[in-house]
Structure 1
Amino acid sequence: MNSAVQLPRHPATQATVSSLPRRAGLGLKTEHFREVLSQQPDIGFFEVHAENYMVAGGPFHHYLGLIREQYPLSLHGVGLSIGAEAPLDPAHLARLAALIERYQPQAFSEHLAWSSHGPVFLNDLLPLAYDRPTLDRVCEHIDQVQNALRRPMLLENPATYLEFRQSSMDEAEFIREAIRRTGCGLLLDVNNVYVSSVNHRRDPLAYIDALPLHAVGEIHLAGFAEDSDSLGDRLLIDDHGAPVDSAVWALYLRLLERIGPTATLIERDNRVPAFSVLHAEARQADQLLHGARRPA
């Protein structure tokens, strides 16, 4: 465990885990830097992958600094390896803390996944067994992150393609317990819900209803690729390389009916289109957000 003083834990709510505006945002891509600065589009916020900015200087920081002056910012981590059996990398955590101190983002998030084994880093977000030893380890890592950053983090539900026989709880229960024990928030990726539910033949709405929805600080929407498994069954792949699917939009609307307007990111990491195409998807999300009522 980190030797820093433990931060007080409060029940996670939208207000305590994120200060992002209740609007739609976009992932900030390098090919759009100049267009964003010259046109200053009406966007709720931008999000960047933290690992792309873990250097002291350079053009990425130049442009992000200028854009940060105009827009709220969310930092999204992909390399902490929260679910790994090994301890967190202290050098990586220190670089992350320096980055957050530099840009003061309105939210920070990471995945419920692992991507490292010993000295080897795997460029993927791999699934966990949902059992008590894994839960204890994940909670310890979340505590370490939140103490180092001196702020709550958002934990993102994963997209998965297999499940472990040794799991003693389902994914929603695991996430619910992790949030209860650590006070972190939830980044609810609706595309991941749909992808995993199709792959494992789950009811996506029942899965969502089993999550601690009071703790949702940000929502992600993305596109997926479709294939078939060895038995010919439908297999969805979370590739962030397509527009948001109509089924995901429908699930998103049902989620808004449950939790009200919540900061929502349109993700596109592969086959990135023109900025105007992404902006149109963000406007579509904004229209749904504006029509959503806050639950009593």
Structure 2
Amino acid sequence: MPINRFNAFSGYGIGIGLRVPHYDQILREKAMVDWFELLSENFLAEGGRQRRVLDRVLEQYRVVLHGVGLYFGSAEPLDRDHLRRIKALVRRTGTPWLSDHLCWGSADGRYSHDLLPMPFTMAAARHTAAKIRQAADFLEVPVSVENISSYAELTFSTMTEWEFLSEVAELADCGILLDVNNVYIVSQNHGFDPHVYLDNIPHERVAQIHIGGHSRLATHILDTHDQPVADPVWKLYGYAIRKLGPTPTLLEWDDRIPPFEEVHREARKANRFLASLAPAQP
């Protein structure tokens, strides 16, 4: 198995996203969760309930920050005010790494509040990698980029998605947050073998994995995070784990959120794949 220098936290195990409907139960019952993933932008404001909850969570749990607003692929420079606020949160939480998406989402100062697909070209890879390096240098914490779901392909791309992801990670010298659900979604939407994707990324750069649910529509699969993980995604996750070795894994469930026990139970299904990597006892 590759030695992962991008997180060095292979013992982190299985985490879940910290979501508002579960706050009270988590704090009251001190749920047995390996770690929580926090959506960075939800905790940037000073004061208020979010910060109070955050401080109590930090007393009991390990956390990892995951963002949706850095837009590494956008043409304009990084938002320095946004970076300063994230850096303060990095220091407050002690997150061992930080992740955001390999996408763009803003132009001319206007924000789409969506994760838009990149053109897979060398020019885009160099531009994006330079911004990732700038962010990592400023934040002083390892950064990983996540592959997104997509529903259309840009005709002027000159490489595959996995080649683009690999190129960006190498140029930026950053980690990868491998969203296995998104790999499955784009493979079905765009017609390729997802195992080829997993075979051809730099395994030693994968710092974390996401799994989640999706919705199958008439013409495509939509990344909805509103139901349990589909069987094909679990199988692909098992394939990924055999390639990567023990890797921190996060279950995403962000819409139609069920009781905490159901989310926690779904997340723990990943343990059977991680346990299969343990050496046999003499």
TM-score for both structures, normalised by structure 2: 0.94
Per-residue CA distance 1:185-213 (angstroms, 9 max, x = gap) = 01000000000000001100111111111
Match of residue 173, structure 1, among 151, 157, 163: 163
Q: 1:13 to 1:110 in 2, by over 3 A?
A: farther
Number of the residue aligned with 1:291: 276
Amino acid aligned to 1:274: P
Identity of aligned residues (%): 36
> Aligned runs of 1:65-214 on 2, under 5 Å?
65-214=55-204
How far apart, in 2, do the equivalents of 1:39 and 1:285 lie? 23
How far apart, in 2, do the equivalents of 1:111 and 1:13 lie? 23
Amino acid aligned to 2:17: G
Residue 96 of structure 1 deviates from its aligned partner by 0.8
Q: 1:246 to 1:21 in 2, by over 3 A?
A: same
1:58 and 2:43 matched: no
Number of the residue aligned with 1:269: 254
1:282 and 2:267 matched: yes
Amino acid aligned to 1:256: I
How far apart, in 2, do the equivalents of 1:13 and 1:151 lie? 19
Task: Name the SS for the 1:242 alignment partner.
Answer: coil
Number of the residue aligned with 2:11: 21
Task: Name the SS for the 1:265 alignment partner.
Answer: strand
Residue 106 of structure 1 deviates from its aligned partner by 2.3
Q: Residues 17 and 107 of structure 1 are in contact (CA less than 8 Å); yes or no, is this contact kept in structure 2? A: yes
Number of the residue aligned with 1:241: 226
Q: Residues 20 and 45 of structure 1 are in contact (CA less than 8 Å); yes or no, is this contact kept in structure 2? A: no
How far apart, in 1, do the equivalents of 2:254 and 2:8 lie? 23
How far apart, in 2, do the equivalents of 1:131 and 1:249 lie? 31
1:224 and 2:214 matched: yes
Q: Residues 97 and 141 of structure 2 are in contact (CA less than 8 Å); yes or no, is this contact kept in structure 1? A: no
Q: 1:38 to 1:20 in 2, by over 3 A?
A: farther
Residue 238 of structure 1 deviates from its aligned partner by 0.6
Task: Name the SS for the 2:60 alignment partner.
Answer: coil
Gaps of 5+ in 2: none
How far apart, in 1, do the equivalents of 2:108 and 2:10 lie? 35
Q: Residues 211 and 249 of structure 2 are in contact (CA less than 8 Å); yes or no, is this contact kept in structure 1? A: yes
Q: 1:13 to 1:150 in 2, by over 3 A?
A: farther
Q: Residues 111 and 157 of structure 1 are in contact (CA less than 8 Å); yes or no, is this contact kept in structure 2? A: yes
Match of residue 24, structure 2, among 31, 34, 39: 34
Q: Residues 15 and 251 of structure 2 are in contact (CA less than 8 Å); yes or no, is this contact kept in structure 1? A: yes
Task: Name the SS for the 1:26 alignment partner.
Answer: strand
Q: Residues 162 and 197 of structure 2 are in contact (CA less than 8 Å); yes or no, is this contact kept in structure 1? A: yes
Number of the residue aligned with 1:254: 239
Residue 288 of structure 1 deviates from its aligned partner by 2.0
How far apart, in 1, do the equivalents of 2:3 and 2:52 lie? 33
Residue 20 of structure 1 deviates from its aligned partner by 6.3
How far apart, in 2, do the equivalents of 1:21 and 1:106 lie? 13
How far apart, in 1, do the equivalents of 2:128 and 2:271 lie? 34
Q: Residues 50 and 96 of structure 1 are in contact (CA less than 8 Å); yes or no, is this contact kept in structure 2? A: yes
How far apart, in 2, do the equivalents of 1:166 and 1:56 lie? 43
Task: Name the SS for the 2:209 alignment partner.
Answer: strand
Task: Name the SS for the 1:69 alignment partner.
Answer: helix
TM-score for both structures, normalised by structure 1: 0.90
Count of equivalent residues: 278
Q: Residues 5 and 204 of structure 2 are in contact (CA less than 8 Å); yes or no, is this contact kept in structure 1? A: no
